[in-house]
Structure 1
Amino acid sequence: MNCKQANAVPISIIMESFSLFPSKQNRKSAFYFALDREERTPSLLVDYSNNTAFDFGTGKKYDVISIVQLIKRCSVAEALSFISLNNFSQTFSTPGWDVAADTNCIDAVTDVKHPALIDYLTRRKLNTEIGELVEIRYCNLGKTFFGVGFKNDSGGYEISNALKFKRCLGRKDITSICNAQSILRMFESWSDYLSFKVINNSSNHGDADYVVLNSVSMIQRFARNPMGYASVELFFDNDDAGDRATELLKQQFTMAQDQRFLYSDHKDLNEFLKSRK
Protein backbone atom coordinates (compact mmCIF):
# COMPACT_ATOMS: atom_id res chain seq x y z
CA MET A 1 0.00 0.00 0.00
CA ASN A 2 1.32 3.44 -0.91
CA CYS A 3 0.56 6.82 0.67
CA LYS A 4 -2.08 7.74 -1.93
CA GLN A 5 -4.01 4.52 -1.29
CA ALA A 6 -3.74 4.92 2.48
CA ASN A 7 -4.98 8.51 2.40
CA ALA A 8 -8.06 7.39 0.43
CA VAL A 9 -9.36 5.48 3.47
CA PRO A 10 -11.96 7.63 5.29
CA ILE A 11 -10.53 9.14 8.45
CA SER A 12 -13.84 8.34 10.18
CA ILE A 13 -13.21 4.61 9.68
CA ILE A 14 -9.68 4.94 11.01
CA MET A 15 -10.98 6.79 14.07
CA GLU A 16 -13.69 4.19 14.64
CA SER A 17 -11.09 1.40 14.54
CA PHE A 18 -9.55 3.01 17.63
CA SER A 19 -13.01 3.34 19.27
CA LEU A 20 -12.98 7.09 18.64
CA PHE A 21 -16.35 8.55 17.69
CA PRO A 22 -17.55 12.07 16.85
CA SER A 23 -19.09 14.28 19.48
CA LYS A 24 -21.27 15.83 16.79
CA GLN A 25 -21.54 15.42 13.04
CA ASN A 26 -23.46 16.28 9.89
CA ARG A 27 -23.23 15.16 6.28
CA LYS A 28 -20.09 17.20 5.60
CA SER A 29 -18.02 17.05 8.76
CA ALA A 30 -17.65 15.85 12.33
CA PHE A 31 -16.07 17.13 15.53
CA TYR A 32 -13.95 14.84 17.71
CA PHE A 33 -12.15 15.44 20.96
CA ALA A 34 -8.43 16.12 20.52
CA LEU A 35 -6.25 13.03 20.31
CA ASP A 36 -3.26 14.37 22.24
CA ARG A 37 -4.84 16.15 25.20
CA GLU A 38 -7.90 16.35 27.41
CA GLU A 39 -10.55 18.95 26.61
CA ARG A 40 -14.17 19.74 27.39
CA THR A 41 -15.10 21.05 23.95
CA PRO A 42 -14.18 18.98 20.86
CA SER A 43 -11.68 20.81 18.65
CA LEU A 44 -10.68 18.24 16.01
CA LEU A 45 -12.71 18.79 12.84
CA VAL A 46 -12.86 16.00 10.24
CA ASP A 47 -13.85 17.19 6.77
CA TYR A 48 -15.52 14.29 4.94
CA SER A 49 -15.17 15.81 1.46
CA ASN A 50 -11.42 16.44 1.74
CA ASN A 51 -10.82 13.48 4.07
CA THR A 52 -8.62 15.60 6.30
CA ALA A 53 -8.68 16.69 9.93
CA PHE A 54 -7.88 20.07 11.45
CA ASP A 55 -7.12 20.66 15.13
CA PHE A 56 -8.38 24.13 16.07
CA GLY A 57 -6.46 23.93 19.33
CA THR A 58 -3.04 23.53 17.73
CA GLY A 59 -3.62 24.69 14.15
CA LYS A 60 -2.35 21.37 12.78
CA LYS A 61 -3.81 19.65 9.72
CA TYR A 62 -3.83 15.87 9.30
CA ASP A 63 -4.35 13.35 6.55
CA VAL A 64 -5.05 9.66 7.18
CA ILE A 65 -1.41 8.67 7.62
CA SER A 66 -0.60 11.48 10.03
CA ILE A 67 -3.74 10.73 12.07
CA VAL A 68 -2.56 7.13 12.50
CA GLN A 69 0.90 8.44 13.39
CA LEU A 70 -0.62 10.70 16.04
CA ILE A 71 -2.76 7.96 17.58
CA LYS A 72 -0.14 5.21 17.50
CA ARG A 73 2.90 7.50 17.89
CA CYS A 74 4.60 5.75 15.02
CA SER A 75 6.52 6.41 11.81
CA VAL A 76 5.03 6.79 8.32
CA ALA A 77 6.15 3.27 7.44
CA GLU A 78 4.51 1.85 10.57
CA ALA A 79 1.31 3.78 9.86
CA LEU A 80 1.20 2.41 6.31
CA SER A 81 1.75 -1.11 7.63
CA PHE A 82 -1.08 -0.69 10.15
CA ILE A 83 -3.53 0.54 7.50
CA SER A 84 -2.53 -2.21 5.08
CA LEU A 85 -2.71 -5.05 7.61
CA ASN A 86 -6.19 -4.00 8.75
CA ASN A 87 -7.58 -4.01 5.19
CA PHE A 88 -9.34 -0.68 5.65
CA SER A 89 -9.54 -0.33 1.89
CA GLN A 90 -12.05 -3.18 1.89
CA THR A 91 -14.31 -1.73 4.56
CA PHE A 92 -15.84 1.22 2.74
CA SER A 93 -17.59 2.08 -0.49
CA THR A 94 -17.40 5.87 -0.52
CA PRO A 95 -16.08 8.36 2.02
CA GLY A 96 -18.36 10.69 3.89
CA TRP A 97 -21.63 10.39 5.69
CA ASP A 98 -22.69 6.90 6.68
CA VAL A 99 -26.47 6.77 6.87
CA ALA A 100 -26.22 4.00 9.44
CA ALA A 101 -25.17 6.69 11.91
CA ASP A 102 -28.54 8.41 11.59
CA THR A 103 -31.33 7.16 13.86
CA ASN A 104 -33.84 8.03 11.10
CA CYS A 105 -32.76 4.93 9.19
CA ILE A 106 -33.78 2.55 12.00
CA ASP A 107 -36.59 0.38 10.65
CA ALA A 108 -37.57 -1.48 13.83
CA VAL A 109 -36.68 -1.85 17.51
CA THR A 110 -38.01 -5.05 19.07
CA ASP A 111 -37.20 -7.69 21.66
CA VAL A 112 -34.28 -9.90 20.64
CA LYS A 113 -35.86 -12.81 18.75
CA HIS A 114 -33.70 -13.59 15.73
CA PRO A 115 -32.05 -17.03 16.16
CA ALA A 116 -28.68 -15.71 14.97
CA LEU A 117 -28.66 -12.98 17.62
CA ILE A 118 -29.79 -15.35 20.37
CA ASP A 119 -27.01 -17.74 19.34
CA TYR A 120 -24.53 -14.84 19.35
CA LEU A 121 -25.48 -13.91 22.92
CA THR A 122 -25.49 -17.54 24.03
CA ARG A 123 -21.95 -18.06 22.76
CA ARG A 124 -20.90 -15.01 24.77
CA LYS A 125 -22.83 -16.42 27.78
CA LEU A 126 -25.01 -13.32 27.90
CA ASN A 127 -28.33 -14.85 26.89
CA THR A 128 -29.68 -14.67 30.46
CA GLU A 129 -29.44 -10.87 30.25
CA ILE A 130 -31.24 -10.61 26.91
CA GLY A 131 -33.83 -8.29 28.45
CA GLU A 132 -31.18 -5.53 28.68
CA LEU A 133 -30.87 -5.48 24.88
CA VAL A 134 -33.06 -4.91 21.86
CA GLU A 135 -33.04 -6.15 18.28
CA ILE A 136 -32.38 -3.35 15.81
CA ARG A 137 -33.15 -3.46 12.10
CA TYR A 138 -31.69 -0.56 10.14
CA CYS A 139 -30.87 0.51 6.61
CA ASN A 140 -27.48 1.44 5.20
CA LEU A 141 -26.77 2.26 1.55
CA GLY A 142 -30.10 0.77 0.52
CA LYS A 143 -29.60 -2.50 2.38
CA THR A 144 -31.18 -3.76 5.61
CA PHE A 145 -29.08 -5.06 8.51
CA PHE A 146 -29.81 -6.22 12.04
CA GLY A 147 -27.98 -6.60 15.34
CA VAL A 148 -28.37 -6.41 19.09
CA GLY A 149 -28.69 -2.87 20.41
CA PHE A 150 -27.82 -1.27 23.75
CA LYS A 151 -29.31 2.16 24.33
CA ASN A 152 -27.23 5.13 25.48
CA ASP A 153 -28.18 8.31 27.34
CA SER A 154 -28.69 10.28 24.11
CA GLY A 155 -31.13 7.79 22.63
CA GLY A 156 -28.56 6.21 20.31
CA TYR A 157 -27.82 2.50 20.13
CA GLU A 158 -24.59 0.53 20.29
CA ILE A 159 -24.99 -2.20 17.65
CA SER A 160 -23.18 -5.56 17.56
CA ASN A 161 -23.64 -8.88 15.80
CA ALA A 162 -21.96 -12.24 15.35
CA LEU A 163 -19.88 -10.92 12.44
CA LYS A 164 -17.99 -8.74 14.95
CA PHE A 165 -19.61 -5.68 13.39
CA LYS A 166 -19.88 -2.76 15.78
CA ARG A 167 -21.49 0.59 15.14
CA CYS A 168 -23.35 3.36 16.92
CA LEU A 169 -26.72 4.36 15.49
CA GLY A 170 -27.49 7.92 16.48
CA ARG A 171 -25.39 10.04 18.79
CA LYS A 172 -22.51 8.41 20.64
CA ASP A 173 -22.85 8.65 24.43
CA ILE A 174 -22.42 6.82 27.71
CA THR A 175 -25.17 4.73 29.31
CA SER A 176 -26.07 5.48 32.92
CA ILE A 177 -27.95 3.14 35.25
CA CYS A 178 -28.83 5.18 38.34
CA ASN A 179 -29.96 3.56 41.59
CA ALA A 180 -29.09 6.44 43.98
CA GLN A 181 -26.27 4.46 45.60
CA SER A 182 -22.86 5.41 47.03
CA ILE A 183 -20.93 2.97 44.79
CA LEU A 184 -20.32 3.60 41.09
CA ARG A 185 -19.16 0.81 38.77
CA MET A 186 -17.76 1.71 35.35
CA PHE A 187 -17.38 -0.50 32.27
CA GLU A 188 -16.10 0.04 28.73
CA SER A 189 -18.84 -1.88 26.91
CA TRP A 190 -22.32 -3.29 27.35
CA SER A 191 -20.93 -6.83 27.12
CA ASP A 192 -18.66 -6.18 30.11
CA TYR A 193 -21.54 -4.73 32.09
CA LEU A 194 -23.79 -7.70 31.32
CA SER A 195 -20.92 -10.12 32.01
CA PHE A 196 -20.57 -8.56 35.46
CA LYS A 197 -24.25 -9.22 36.09
CA VAL A 198 -23.97 -12.84 34.95
CA ILE A 199 -20.83 -13.48 37.01
CA ASN A 200 -22.52 -12.07 40.10
CA ASN A 201 -25.66 -14.10 39.40
CA SER A 202 -28.12 -11.29 39.78
CA SER A 203 -30.46 -9.40 37.47
CA ASN A 204 -31.08 -6.66 40.02
CA HIS A 205 -27.89 -4.77 40.82
CA GLY A 206 -29.54 -2.06 42.85
CA ASP A 207 -26.60 -1.94 45.25
CA ALA A 208 -24.66 0.41 42.96
CA ASP A 209 -24.91 2.93 40.13
CA TYR A 210 -23.44 1.95 36.77
CA VAL A 211 -21.87 3.74 33.82
CA VAL A 212 -21.09 2.03 30.52
CA LEU A 213 -18.74 4.21 28.46
CA ASN A 214 -19.63 2.43 25.18
CA SER A 215 -16.04 3.25 24.13
CA VAL A 216 -13.07 4.09 26.32
CA SER A 217 -12.69 7.31 24.32
CA MET A 218 -15.94 8.52 25.91
CA ILE A 219 -14.18 8.88 29.23
CA GLN A 220 -13.47 12.47 28.17
CA ARG A 221 -17.21 13.09 28.10
CA PHE A 222 -17.88 11.50 31.45
CA ALA A 223 -20.01 14.28 32.89
CA ARG A 224 -20.94 12.76 36.23
CA ASN A 225 -18.68 13.99 39.05
CA PRO A 226 -17.89 10.92 41.16
CA MET A 227 -17.09 13.03 44.23
CA GLY A 228 -20.49 12.06 45.62
CA TYR A 229 -19.54 8.38 45.61
CA ALA A 230 -17.77 6.56 48.41
CA SER A 231 -16.24 4.20 45.86
CA VAL A 232 -15.74 4.11 42.08
CA GLU A 233 -14.95 0.60 40.78
CA LEU A 234 -13.28 0.42 37.35
CA PHE A 235 -13.75 -2.69 35.17
CA PHE A 236 -11.89 -1.68 32.01
CA ASP A 237 -10.07 -3.84 29.45
CA ASN A 238 -6.59 -5.21 30.00
CA ASP A 239 -4.99 -3.23 27.17
CA ASP A 240 -3.24 0.10 26.63
CA ALA A 241 -6.50 2.04 26.33
CA GLY A 242 -7.83 0.44 29.50
CA ASP A 243 -4.58 1.26 31.29
CA ARG A 244 -4.77 4.91 30.28
CA ALA A 245 -8.43 5.26 31.26
CA THR A 246 -7.83 3.59 34.62
CA GLU A 247 -4.83 5.77 35.45
CA LEU A 248 -6.67 8.92 34.37
CA LEU A 249 -9.56 8.27 36.76
CA LYS A 250 -7.30 7.10 39.59
CA GLN A 251 -5.31 10.31 39.33
CA GLN A 252 -8.43 12.44 39.19
CA PHE A 253 -10.48 10.70 41.87
CA THR A 254 -9.00 9.20 45.02
CA MET A 255 -11.94 6.85 45.48
CA ALA A 256 -11.36 5.14 42.08
CA GLN A 257 -10.32 1.48 42.36
CA ASP A 258 -8.91 -0.72 39.60
CA GLN A 259 -10.81 -4.04 39.62
CA ARG A 260 -8.95 -5.71 36.75
CA PHE A 261 -7.08 -8.00 39.13
CA LEU A 262 -10.29 -10.05 39.12
CA TYR A 263 -9.70 -10.99 35.45
CA SER A 264 -6.01 -10.20 34.96
CA ASP A 265 -5.43 -13.21 32.67
CA HIS A 266 -8.15 -12.15 30.22
CA LYS A 267 -8.68 -9.21 27.90
CA ASP A 268 -11.98 -8.19 29.47
CA LEU A 269 -14.84 -9.36 31.65
CA ASN A 270 -16.64 -11.13 28.82
CA GLU A 271 -13.54 -13.15 27.89
CA PHE A 272 -13.25 -14.08 31.57
CA LEU A 273 -16.91 -15.11 31.67
CA LYS A 274 -16.57 -17.25 28.53
CA SER A 275 -13.55 -19.04 30.01
CA ARG A 276 -15.55 -20.24 33.01
CA LYS A 277 -17.10 -23.70 32.91
Structure 2
Amino acid sequence: MSTEDVTLTAGDAEVTVQPGNGCRIGSLRVGGVELLRQGKKYGCFPMVPWCGRIADGRFRDGAAVHQMPLNSPPHAIHGFARDAEWRTARTSKTEAVFTYDLTDPWPYPGRVTQIVELTEDGLTLRMGVETYGDSFPAQAGWHPWFNRVLEDGGEPVRIDFDAAWQEERGDDHLPTGRRVEVRPGPWDDCFGMPDGVDVTLTWPGRIAVNVKSREPWVVVYDEQDAAVCVEPQTGPPNGLNTDPRLVTPIEPLETATTWTWRRL
Protein backbone atom coordinates (compact mmCIF):
# COMPACT_ATOMS: atom_id res chain seq x y z
CA MET A 1 0.00 0.00 0.00
CA SER A 2 1.25 3.46 -0.92
CA THR A 3 1.31 6.90 0.72
CA GLU A 4 1.74 8.77 -2.59
CA ASP A 5 -0.83 11.39 -3.56
CA VAL A 6 -3.89 10.07 -5.40
CA THR A 7 -5.73 12.13 -8.02
CA LEU A 8 -9.29 11.36 -9.09
CA THR A 9 -11.05 12.92 -12.09
CA ALA A 10 -14.65 13.10 -13.30
CA GLY A 11 -15.64 15.49 -16.08
CA ASP A 12 -13.91 18.79 -15.31
CA ALA A 13 -13.67 18.01 -11.57
CA GLU A 14 -10.38 16.89 -10.04
CA VAL A 15 -9.56 15.95 -6.46
CA THR A 16 -6.16 15.13 -4.98
CA VAL A 17 -5.91 13.10 -1.76
CA GLN A 18 -2.72 13.11 0.33
CA PRO A 19 -2.61 9.89 2.39
CA GLY A 20 0.90 10.76 3.57
CA ASN A 21 -0.38 14.07 4.97
CA GLY A 22 -3.25 12.98 7.19
CA CYS A 23 -5.35 11.70 4.26
CA ARG A 24 -6.50 15.24 3.62
CA ILE A 25 -8.08 16.42 0.40
CA GLY A 26 -5.21 18.59 -0.78
CA SER A 27 -7.03 20.01 -3.77
CA LEU A 28 -10.52 20.19 -5.24
CA ARG A 29 -10.68 21.85 -8.63
CA VAL A 30 -13.88 22.39 -10.60
CA GLY A 31 -13.51 23.76 -14.11
CA GLY A 32 -9.87 24.46 -13.30
CA VAL A 33 -10.72 26.62 -10.27
CA GLU A 34 -9.37 25.63 -6.84
CA LEU A 35 -12.05 25.61 -4.11
CA LEU A 36 -9.84 24.71 -1.12
CA ARG A 37 -7.19 26.76 0.62
CA GLN A 38 -3.76 25.45 -0.29
CA GLY A 39 -1.04 24.51 2.19
CA LYS A 40 0.18 21.56 4.20
CA LYS A 41 -2.29 22.18 7.05
CA TYR A 42 -5.29 23.16 4.93
CA GLY A 43 -7.30 21.48 2.19
CA CYS A 44 -9.85 19.26 3.96
CA PHE A 45 -8.72 16.89 6.69
CA PRO A 46 -10.54 14.10 8.53
CA MET A 47 -11.21 14.74 12.20
CA VAL A 48 -10.90 11.42 14.02
CA PRO A 49 -11.04 9.86 16.61
CA TRP A 50 -12.61 13.09 17.89
CA CYS A 51 -13.81 16.42 16.50
CA GLY A 52 -13.11 19.89 17.81
CA ARG A 53 -11.75 20.37 21.31
CA ILE A 54 -11.64 17.98 24.25
CA ALA A 55 -11.69 19.93 27.52
CA ASP A 56 -8.16 19.84 28.99
CA GLY A 57 -7.46 16.91 26.66
CA ARG A 58 -9.20 14.46 29.03
CA PHE A 59 -12.15 12.17 28.46
CA ARG A 60 -13.75 9.48 30.56
CA ASP A 61 -14.69 5.98 29.47
CA GLY A 62 -16.43 4.32 32.39
CA ALA A 63 -14.07 4.54 35.36
CA ALA A 64 -11.01 5.24 33.18
CA VAL A 65 -9.84 8.77 32.42
CA HIS A 66 -7.64 9.21 29.35
CA GLN A 67 -5.31 12.13 28.65
CA MET A 68 -4.70 13.23 25.07
CA PRO A 69 -1.79 15.47 24.02
CA LEU A 70 -2.61 19.19 24.34
CA ASN A 71 -2.08 20.17 20.72
CA SER A 72 -4.16 23.35 21.23
CA PRO A 73 -3.45 24.24 24.89
CA PRO A 74 -5.24 23.98 27.21
CA HIS A 75 -7.21 21.52 25.05
CA ALA A 76 -6.71 18.70 22.56
CA ILE A 77 -8.22 19.43 19.15
CA HIS A 78 -9.38 17.62 15.98
CA GLY A 79 -7.90 14.19 16.69
CA PHE A 80 -4.48 13.21 15.42
CA ALA A 81 -5.24 11.18 12.30
CA ARG A 82 -4.78 14.45 10.35
CA ASP A 83 -1.09 14.36 11.33
CA ALA A 84 -0.61 10.66 10.57
CA GLU A 85 0.46 8.68 7.54
CA TRP A 86 -2.42 6.75 5.99
CA ARG A 87 -2.23 3.97 3.41
CA THR A 88 -3.97 3.67 0.07
CA ALA A 89 -5.94 0.42 -0.05
CA ARG A 90 -7.29 0.70 -3.58
CA THR A 91 -8.01 3.26 -6.29
CA SER A 92 -9.89 3.72 -9.53
CA LYS A 93 -10.33 6.78 -11.74
CA THR A 94 -13.11 8.17 -9.57
CA GLU A 95 -12.82 6.41 -6.17
CA ALA A 96 -10.12 5.65 -3.61
CA VAL A 97 -10.03 3.90 -0.23
CA PHE A 98 -7.56 4.73 2.55
CA THR A 99 -6.87 3.22 5.98
CA TYR A 100 -5.20 4.28 9.22
CA ASP A 101 -4.62 2.14 12.30
CA LEU A 102 -5.30 3.87 15.61
CA THR A 103 -2.29 3.76 17.88
CA ASP A 104 -0.67 5.59 20.81
CA PRO A 105 -1.62 7.96 22.30
CA TRP A 106 -5.14 6.69 21.53
CA PRO A 107 -5.78 4.00 24.18
CA TYR A 108 -7.81 1.61 22.00
CA PRO A 109 -6.78 -0.48 18.99
CA GLY A 110 -8.85 0.11 15.89
CA ARG A 111 -8.90 1.12 12.26
CA VAL A 112 -10.19 4.15 10.39
CA THR A 113 -11.23 3.87 6.74
CA GLN A 114 -11.88 6.85 4.49
CA ILE A 115 -13.51 6.48 1.06
CA VAL A 116 -13.33 9.34 -1.45
CA GLU A 117 -15.70 9.25 -4.42
CA LEU A 118 -15.83 11.90 -7.17
CA THR A 119 -18.53 12.53 -9.77
CA GLU A 120 -18.85 15.31 -12.33
CA ASP A 121 -20.93 17.40 -9.95
CA GLY A 122 -20.11 16.13 -6.47
CA LEU A 123 -17.66 14.72 -3.95
CA THR A 124 -18.65 12.13 -1.33
CA LEU A 125 -16.46 11.41 1.67
CA ARG A 126 -17.18 8.42 3.91
CA MET A 127 -15.46 7.44 7.11
CA GLY A 128 -15.70 4.38 9.33
CA VAL A 129 -14.11 3.68 12.71
CA GLU A 130 -13.91 0.05 13.88
CA THR A 131 -12.45 -1.55 16.98
CA TYR A 132 -10.01 -4.44 17.19
CA GLY A 133 -10.99 -5.07 20.80
CA ASP A 134 -13.15 -3.35 23.40
CA SER A 135 -15.80 -0.75 22.69
CA PHE A 136 -14.70 2.88 22.90
CA PRO A 137 -16.13 6.39 22.43
CA ALA A 138 -15.17 8.22 19.26
CA GLN A 139 -16.16 10.97 16.85
CA ALA A 140 -15.51 11.53 13.17
CA GLY A 141 -15.98 14.43 10.77
CA TRP A 142 -14.30 16.67 8.22
CA HIS A 143 -12.65 20.07 8.39
CA PRO A 144 -12.60 21.69 4.93
CA TRP A 145 -10.95 25.08 4.36
CA PHE A 146 -12.87 26.69 1.49
CA ASN A 147 -11.25 29.70 -0.16
CA ARG A 148 -13.08 32.87 0.88
CA VAL A 149 -12.26 34.37 -2.52
CA LEU A 150 -11.54 32.12 -5.49
CA GLU A 151 -8.00 32.22 -6.81
CA ASP A 152 -8.93 34.25 -9.88
CA GLY A 153 -10.89 36.83 -7.90
CA GLY A 154 -14.56 37.70 -7.60
CA GLU A 155 -16.79 38.34 -4.62
CA PRO A 156 -16.21 36.60 -1.27
CA VAL A 157 -18.14 33.44 -0.47
CA ARG A 158 -21.52 33.63 1.27
CA ILE A 159 -22.54 30.97 3.81
CA ASP A 160 -26.24 30.08 4.10
CA PHE A 161 -27.84 27.62 6.50
CA ASP A 162 -30.88 27.24 8.75
CA ALA A 163 -29.92 25.67 12.07
CA ALA A 164 -32.34 24.69 14.82
CA TRP A 165 -29.98 26.02 17.47
CA GLN A 166 -26.48 27.22 18.25
CA GLU A 167 -24.41 25.70 21.02
CA GLU A 168 -23.52 28.52 23.37
CA ARG A 169 -19.73 28.88 23.40
CA GLY A 170 -17.89 29.66 26.61
CA ASP A 171 -14.72 31.68 27.02
CA ASP A 172 -12.82 28.38 26.78
CA HIS A 173 -14.25 27.84 23.26
CA LEU A 174 -16.22 24.81 24.47
CA PRO A 175 -20.01 24.46 24.44
CA THR A 176 -21.53 25.44 27.79
CA GLY A 177 -24.39 22.94 27.41
CA ARG A 178 -26.94 25.67 26.66
CA ARG A 179 -28.67 25.87 23.29
CA VAL A 180 -29.39 29.37 22.03
CA GLU A 181 -30.89 30.97 18.94
CA VAL A 182 -28.51 31.32 16.01
CA ARG A 183 -26.47 34.47 16.46
CA PRO A 184 -24.87 36.53 13.71
CA GLY A 185 -21.32 35.69 12.68
CA PRO A 186 -18.40 35.71 12.53
CA TRP A 187 -18.52 32.20 13.93
CA ASP A 188 -16.35 29.58 15.51
CA ASP A 189 -19.45 27.76 16.67
CA CYS A 190 -21.34 24.49 16.63
CA PHE A 191 -24.89 24.34 15.29
CA GLY A 192 -27.60 21.74 15.61
CA MET A 193 -29.36 20.54 12.46
CA PRO A 194 -31.49 17.55 13.56
CA ASP A 195 -32.63 16.80 10.00
CA GLY A 196 -29.03 16.62 8.82
CA VAL A 197 -26.33 19.13 7.91
CA ASP A 198 -27.32 21.32 4.96
CA VAL A 199 -25.09 24.35 4.29
CA THR A 200 -24.59 26.21 1.01
CA LEU A 201 -21.47 28.18 0.11
CA THR A 202 -22.01 30.61 -2.76
CA TRP A 203 -19.33 32.50 -4.65
CA PRO A 204 -21.65 35.00 -6.41
CA GLY A 205 -21.78 34.62 -10.16
CA ARG A 206 -19.37 31.69 -10.06
CA ILE A 207 -20.29 28.50 -8.24
CA ALA A 208 -22.39 27.22 -5.33
CA VAL A 209 -21.39 24.22 -3.20
CA ASN A 210 -23.95 22.46 -1.02
CA VAL A 211 -22.49 20.55 1.95
CA LYS A 212 -24.78 17.82 3.27
CA SER A 213 -24.54 15.05 5.84
CA ARG A 214 -27.02 12.95 7.75
CA GLU A 215 -25.25 14.03 10.95
CA PRO A 216 -27.01 16.63 13.13
CA TRP A 217 -23.89 18.66 14.00
CA VAL A 218 -21.87 21.20 12.06
CA VAL A 219 -19.19 23.67 13.10
CA VAL A 220 -18.91 26.87 11.03
CA TYR A 221 -15.67 28.82 11.29
CA ASP A 222 -15.27 32.05 9.34
CA GLU A 223 -12.96 34.16 11.49
CA GLN A 224 -10.02 34.08 9.05
CA ASP A 225 -9.57 36.27 5.99
CA ALA A 226 -8.32 33.54 3.66
CA ALA A 227 -10.85 30.75 4.16
CA VAL A 228 -14.09 29.56 5.74
CA CYS A 229 -14.83 26.15 7.24
CA VAL A 230 -18.04 24.09 7.27
CA GLU A 231 -17.41 20.96 9.34
CA PRO A 232 -20.00 18.15 9.47
CA GLN A 233 -19.32 15.85 12.40
CA THR A 234 -20.87 13.08 14.48
CA GLY A 235 -20.98 15.08 17.71
CA PRO A 236 -20.32 18.51 19.19
CA PRO A 237 -16.97 19.76 20.47
CA ASN A 238 -16.04 18.00 23.72
CA GLY A 239 -18.52 15.33 22.66
CA LEU A 240 -16.36 12.46 23.95
CA ASN A 241 -17.39 13.78 27.39
CA THR A 242 -20.86 15.17 26.73
CA ASP A 243 -22.37 13.13 23.89
CA PRO A 244 -20.26 9.99 23.33
CA ARG A 245 -20.97 7.51 20.55
CA LEU A 246 -19.56 4.06 21.04
CA VAL A 247 -17.60 2.05 18.51
CA THR A 248 -18.43 -1.58 19.32
CA PRO A 249 -17.26 -4.90 17.85
CA ILE A 250 -20.60 -5.24 16.05
CA GLU A 251 -21.31 -1.58 15.27
CA PRO A 252 -18.58 0.65 13.82
CA LEU A 253 -18.96 4.42 13.75
CA GLU A 254 -19.86 5.35 10.18
CA THR A 255 -20.46 8.80 8.72
CA ALA A 256 -20.47 10.57 5.36
CA THR A 257 -20.73 13.97 3.73
CA THR A 258 -21.53 14.91 0.14
CA TRP A 259 -20.67 18.19 -1.52
CA THR A 260 -22.49 19.01 -4.75
CA TRP A 261 -21.80 22.00 -6.95
CA ARG A 262 -23.45 23.98 -9.68
CA ARG A 263 -22.24 26.82 -11.84
CA LEU A 264 -24.01 30.16 -11.51
Fold conserved between structures, TM > 0.5: no
Which of structures 1 and 2 has the larger relative contact order (alpha carbons within 8 angstroms, sep 6+)?
2
Rg larger in structure: 1
The structure with the largest helix share of the pair is: 1
TM (norm. structure 1) is: 0.26
TM (norm. structure 2) is: 0.27
The structure with the largest strand share of the pair is: 2
